[in-house]
Amino acid sequence: QPRGCTHCEFCGVCIEGFDHHCPWMGKCIGKKNLCAFHTFIVVSMSSLVYIFIATVFYSNPPPSAAPTSPPFSLHRDPMGS
């Protein structure tokens, strides 16, 4: 085992600068892919925040944007009134 490496029990390999095994990425996080892992976390959290904000703002439209009835009826009254 090279110096600075740690054996991962999940993958069965030695990783230089081992941090942890990530089940979402399906690989060990170490010295060579730590930047990619941080990018993954930032993009995931940004997407989660965007979806939450979009859901909150677009699921409850303001009262002024509520649909109104047309000024005239689309159906004719058979009695002519």
* Active site annotation includes 22: yes
User: What is the token pair recorded at 75?
Assistant: 């159906």
Active-site choice (8, 11, 22, 35): 22
> Distance (Å, rounded) from C-alpha 21 to C-alpha 25?
9
User: What is the token pair recorded at 49?
Assistant: 């925040």
User: What is the token pair recorded at 20?
Assistant: 């942890």
Positions annotated as catalytic residues are 22
